[in-house]
């Protein structure tokens, strides 16, 4: 019997998340910078964020504005100011990747993946276990 199994690894940078104070203003700024328009604006209530997405080649840039002061984005901006908030990597099987990375000693912030922006199942790794970088895994919901 032939077993078809996805390789367990992070496949590519899916997007880079940038925390911004004012999404409307930043949308205009990044439109000018990239020379192209965003393709999606989406509110993610579970994460208390409003987002917009730009496609650049194979990768995306996600801008994130906090919906209220309890949002991770509000806390991040208060402590560190606007800037790169996370890097997201595409995976084929998020459940298998979570198990693999837990075995490797990484702390998974939400071991039960949740629905994120742009039709993805997502989970985060704590930055204290990844050299200070907040890492997101994301799998396309089919």
List the interface residues with ligand CMX, window 5-34 (CB under 6 A).
17
Does position 137 interact with ligand CMX (CB under 6 A)? The reply is: no
The total number of residues shown for the chain amounts to: 142
Q: Applying CB under 6 A, does 113 fall inside the site for ligand CMX?
A: no
C-alpha to C-alpha distance for 134 and 59, rounded to whole angstroms: 17
Can you tell me which of 23, 117, 135, 137 binds ligand CMX, judged by CB under 6 A? 117
115 beta partners: 121
Residue 79 touching ligand CMX (CB under 6 A):
yes
How far apart are the C-alpha atoms of 142 and 139, rounded to whole Å?
9
Position 91 contacts ligand CMX (CB under 6 A) = no
Is residue 26 within 8 Å of residue 20, measured between CB atoms? yes
Is 101 a binder of ligand CMX (CB under 6 A)?
Answer: no
Nearest residue (CB) to ligand CMX, 73 versus 94: 73
- Find all residues with CB under 8 Å of 96, minimum gap 6, and list them: 6, 8
The helix/strand/coil state of 68 is: coil
- Measured between alpha carbons, how far is 1 from 23 in angstroms, rounded to an integer? 52
73 lies in the site for ligand CMX, by CB under 6 A:
yes
Asked whether position 44 contacts ligand CMX by CB under 6 A, the answer is: yes
Applying CB under 6 A, which residues contact ligand CMX? 17, 44, 47, 49, 51, 64, 72-73, 75-76, 79, 85-86, 109, 116-117, 124, 126-128, 132, 134
């Amino acid at each position: 019997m032939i077993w078809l199994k996805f390789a367990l690894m992070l496949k590519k940078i899916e997007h880079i998340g940038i925390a911004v104070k004012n999404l409307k203003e930043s949308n205009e700024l990044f439109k000018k910078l990239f020379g192209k328009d965003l393709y999606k604006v989406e509110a993610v209530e579970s994460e208390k964020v409003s987002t917009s997405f730009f496609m650049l080649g194979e990768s995306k840039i996600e801008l994130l504005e906090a919906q209220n002061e309890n949002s991770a984005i509000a806390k991040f901006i208060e402590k560190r100011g606007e800037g790169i908030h996370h890097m997201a990597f595409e995976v084929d099987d998020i459940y298998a990747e979570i198990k693999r990375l837990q075995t490797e000693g990484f702390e998974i912030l939400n071991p039960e993946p949740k629905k994120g922006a742009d039709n993805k199942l997502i989970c985060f790794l704590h930055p204290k276990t990844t050299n200070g970088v907040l890492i997101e895994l994301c799998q396309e919901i089919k």
